[in-house]
Amino acid sequence: MRLTNQLGTIIKTFAPATIANLGPGFDILGLALEKPGDIVEAKIIPKKKVIISEITGDKGKLPRDSKKNTAGIAAREVLKLLKTKKGVEIKLHKGMPLESGLGSSAASAIASAWAVNLLFGKKLFKKELLPACLKAEKLAGGGEHADNVAASLLGGVVLIRSYEPLDIISLDYPKNLFCVVVTPELTLSTIKARKVLPKNVSLSQVVQNSGNVAALVTALERKDFDLLGRALNDEIIEPIRAPLIPGFYKVKQSALSSGALGCSISGGGPSIFALTQNLKEARKIGKEMRRTFLTEKIKSKTYISKINSVGAKEVK
């Protein structure tokens, strides 16, 4: 039996990338991917502070100052919840591109928070860690957006019914649903992607998106793929953000023409996701989406994944 809450004990955790919004569900829907994701190695130190001793996979872009890094902030907030006088040293290994629309900052925070919790004996349930991770996410996104955070932490598909008070619902979903994510070699910060959002939207747009969100949740619960495809339609955010992603509509059409149930922007972009029913179709869709980006002289990377039902976890 491994001892926790001991100096020198090392815990390694993984937190997955996520797809936020799922088309019409702006800030209220998200799902976890099996890959990619971030890994955190953490150990207890005697002094109550958070040290980030190493970051890999970020090309030197992320701050090592724990007060300016989502992994460091999440660790500090969890230490407060645990009411411990000890601290932690963290090594962060980035497994996904930064500013890609895959919840990169959230994954770092989640992996860190779960590692610290495990180090001190797993005293907190996952949902009890959400406030700590949301405070960290505020640094990257300018607000406490739970769609990425909750999906990465809890796994599966999540619905944010309310932010005040925070009310998160885990949804059922088809186990044979495949996600195709194509990430172009572009960067698009969450803050920039939010600056273009409209201050006001028409009532007809709200009605349409509300109907699509309700239908999407119903489709997931019923395993109704036809309805899922019809519901994966965003009348409000996608048209505003699409110009930030060169070739977006061409890539989307290539996915739909290749058999995708639906296709939209992942989070704030520039990653684009599509959903389908089997691995063979997923590979075909990913290939065509990547080929279409190349016609815009943009290289990209494809991730194919089922929905991750676990979320944050310990790894060896």
Helix then strand then coil, in percent of the chain rounded to 5, is: 40, 25, 35
Strands of the chain (E only): list them.
10-20, 29-45, 50-56, 87-93, 157-163, 166-171, 178-184, 262-265, 272-276, 300-306, 313-314
Distance, CA of 304 to CA of 286 (rounded, Å): 8
Distance, CA of 111 to CA of 66 (rounded, Å): 14
190 is catalytic: yes
pLDDT at 206 over 60: yes
pLDDT at 2 over 60: no
Q: Which of 18, 70, 183, 190 is catalytic?
A: 190
Residue type, 285: I
Residues 231-281 have pLDDT tens digits of 999 999 999 999 999 999 999 999 999 999 999 999 999 999 999 999 999
Distance, CA of 244 to CA of 186 (rounded, Å): 10
User: In this predicted structure, what is the pLDDT of residue 244?
Assistant: 94
Structure tokens belonging to residue 40: 């955190």
Q: Cis omega (within 30 of 0) on the bond before 270?
A: yes
Q: What is the dihedral of CA 210, 105, 193, 198, to 10 degrees?
A: 40
Q: What's the pLDDT band for 198 if we cut at 50, 70, 90?
A: confident
pLDDT at 193 over 90: no
Among candidate residues 39, 31, 301, 297, the one with its CA nearest the CA of residue 179: 31
The residue behind tokens 């639906």 is 262
Among candidate residues 183, 222, 214, 206, the one with its CA nearest the CA of residue 305: 183
pLDDT at 167 over 80: yes
Residues 97-149 have pLDDT tens digits of 999 999 999 999 999 999 999 999 999 999 999 999 999 988 766 677 899 99
Angle at 48 between CA 45 and CA 53, to 5 degrees: 50
Among candidate residues 20, 118, 105, the one with its CA nearest the CA of residue 55: 105
pLDDT at 225 over 50: yes
The yes-or-no answer to whether 10-171 and 178-306 have a common fold is no
pTM for the structure as a whole:
0.93
DSSP sequence for 49-61: -EEEEEEESSTT-
For 247-254, the CB contacts below 8 A with 24+ separation are 247/292, 247/293, 247/295, 247/296, 247/298, 248/272, 250/292, 250/295, 250/296, 251/182, 251/289, 251/292, 251/293, 254/288, 254/289, 254/291, 254/292
Specify the CATH number for 178-306; select among 3.30.70.890, 3.30.70.360, 3.40.50.720, 3.20.20.70.
3.30.70.890
Residues 211-224 have pLDDT tens digits of 999 999 999 999 99
**Is the separation of the CB atoms in 71 and 111 below 8 Å?**
yes
Per the model's pLDDT, the better-predicted residue between 308 and 186 turns out to be 308
Q: What is the dihedral of CA 61, 63, 68, 70, to 10 degrees?
A: 70
Check whether domain 10-171 has CATH 3.30.230.10, yes or no:
yes
Q: What percent of the chain has pLDDT over 70?
A: 97
Residue 90's Cβ-count burial label (10 Å; 0-12, 13-18, 19+) is: buried
pLDDT at 192 over 90: no
137 is catalytic: yes
User: In this predicted structure, what is the pLDDT of residue 142?
Assistant: 63
User: In this predicted structure, what is the pLDDT of residue 189?
Assistant: 82
pLDDT at 1 over 50: no
Per the model's pLDDT, the better-predicted residue between 227 and 193 turns out to be 227
| Mean pLDDT value across the chain | 94
Distance, CA of 278 to CA of 201 (rounded, Å): 36
User: In this predicted structure, what is the pLDDT of residue 139?
Assistant: 79
Q: Which of 137, 235, 238, 288 is catalytic?
A: 137
User: In this predicted structure, what is the pLDDT of residue 7?
Assistant: 76
Sorted by where each begins, the domain ranges of the chain are 10-171, 178-306
